[in-house]
Amino acid sequence: MHVLALLDGTLADPTVPLLRVDDLGVMRGDGIFETILVVDGKPRELGPHLDRLARSAAMMDLPAPDRAAWERACQVVLDNWTGRPEHVLKLVMTRGVEGTGTPTEFALGMEIAPAVLRQRAEGIAAVTLERGFGPDVAERAPWLLLGAKSLSYAVNMAAVREAARRGADDVVFLASDGTVLEGPTSTVVAVHEGVLRTPPSTLGILPGTTQHALFRAAERTGRNVKVEPLTVPDLHAADGVFLCSSVRTVTRVHTLDGTRLTDSSDLHREMVELYQSEYQR
Ligand SMILES: Cc1ncc(COP(=O)(O)O)c(C=O)c1O
């Protein structure tokens, strides 16, 4: 099931074409997006997602998103959703048709893919793959758009297919010096002796709203958190490695590059409870 809302606050038929074939979102993947989890009609981290949409737009010289219009479009989707209580809310903004200067924008309610629910419950095997950049390139070469949530995710999806060829479910990207970066659609969190650690976004990775919510909860409950570079040996030595993203929430990595990691089932349960506690207050 899909519910589609436009930025003027109207509903549109999701089965009817909306984009022109020469929309730059289609022609060049030139645009940005956000994926938000909705539970019982409440979007999680909507503010941070809209902040990040604005940040991505600025990084790509797109017009600043009209926040009030996005909030209204999101509400229209939520008000008209009749599917499962837990679902996806996707925001898309493209550069529109060349020369018009008018972005194409919509909010789309969708069901969660069954594979995502399975991975949440069962955990995943991941492989490390190099991204080909040094850890300091983001600042030197902003045109690479590292850390922007752009629509150009073909490379990220190709990495996931490579993982499947290697018998795994997902990927941990590494910088050219071996520094741990992020997953193609997730933030890496490793737990060592009760301390939650994640790589800094200065490495050219997307600041994750789920990781941020998890760390907020951890700090609130007196745990230590560290934002600092991680290496692959750090992941192998961890009590638990998790890939965090809005819809998958906190997913346990049970196997890395074919090696079984420390059994983190109990720690995973604890991390999920911690993350959920942010929304039960
Ligand atoms: C590259 C990348 N890193 C991290 C994340 C996790 O971000 P969030 O927790 O805000 O969904 C995503 C989300 O899709 C992503 O695409």
Digit-coded pLDDT (tens) for 219-242: 999 999 999 999 999 999 999 999
Q: How far is the CA of 208 from the centre of ligand 1 (A)?
A: 5
Digit-coded pLDDT (tens) for 133-170: 998 899 899 999 999 999 999 999 999 999 999 999 99
Which of 214, 207, 113 minimizes the C-alpha distance to 169? 113
* pLDDT band of 124, cuts 50, 70, 90: very high
Digit-coded pLDDT (tens) for 19-74: 999 999 999 999 999 999 999 999 999 999 999 999 999 999 999 999 999 999 99
Ligand 1 atom at minimal distance to the Cα of residue 49? 10
φ, ψ (nearest 5 deg) of residue 6: -100, 170
Residue 259 CA: distances (Å) to CA of 76, 98, 168, 191, 256: 46, 48, 11, 18, 5
Delineate the domains of the chain, giving CATH numbers in brackets: 2-112 (3.30.470.10), 116-277 (3.20.10.10)
The predicted pLDDT at position 109 comes to 98
Separation CA 184–CA 145 (nearest Å) = 14
- Ligand 1: residue of 52, 187, 203 to mutate (most ligand atoms within 8 A of CB) is 187
- Written as six digits, the tokens of 98 are 């060349």
Digit-coded pLDDT (tens) for 175-206: 999 999 999 999 999 999 999 999 999 999 99
Token pair 């095997």 in the structure block, residue: 125
CA 272 and chain centroid, separation: 17
Q: Are 52 and 209 in contact (CB under 8 A)?
A: yes
The predicted pLDDT at position 231 comes to 98
pLDDT above 90: residue 281: no
List b or e across 53-62, with b for residues whose CB sees 16 or more CB atoms inside 10 angstroms: bbbbbebbeb
pLDDT above 90: residue 8: yes
pLDDT above 90: residue 1: no
Digit-coded pLDDT (tens) for 265-276: 999 999 999 999
| Residue spans of beta strands (DSSP E) within 70-167 | 86-94, 104-110, 124-130
